[in-house]
Amino acid sequence: LALAPGIERWAVSGTGGSVGGALRLASLRPEISGATIQLGNVALIIIPECTPLMPVLLLAIAMASYPAPLKWKLAGIGAGIVALWTFNVVRMLALFATLAWWPESFKFMHVYLWQSITLLVVSALFMTWLRFSPPVAARA
């Protein structure tokens, strides 16, 4: 993705906009400046690794490599993008809450807990997609 900075910029901007929108839905008034979202005295800086790009790529590669019909693969990747984008917004909101109410645990929550949960979510999405996947014809 480093070779495609436009995609990273779009993902950072979109993530910030989505998190800001979710905060506004909760009747909060975040200030968004570039990649920084500030709410009161709490601020998060969105970097490319804070976006759902890598989890989406991981899920898409797994789905693309499985012997399933192309339409099924595309449907799974599309649904996965929506699910992972939504999950990432929830993750960022939880990190905001962590910074506000339990700042000393932020590093653990951000680096260890949420990254592990993200891998579990990607795995669960792939396993769910497999569960409902049309049967693969046996090769002779």
pLDDT score, position 136 = 76
Cα dist. 23→7, 38, 47, 48, 50 in Å? Answer: 24, 11, 19, 20, 17
91-113: pLDDT as tens digits: 999 999 999 999 999 999 999 99
Report residues of the chain scoring pLDDT below 50.
none
pLDDT score, position 135 = 82
What global pTM score does this model have? 0.91
Side-by-side strand order, sheet with 31-33: 31-33, 36-39, 42-45
Rounded to whole angstroms, the Cα distance separating 35 from 9 reads: 9
Residue at token pair 């939880």: 94
pLDDT score, position 6 = 87
Rounded to whole angstroms, the Cα distance separating 60 from 81 reads: 9
Rounded to whole angstroms, the Cα distance separating 32 from 60 reads: 30
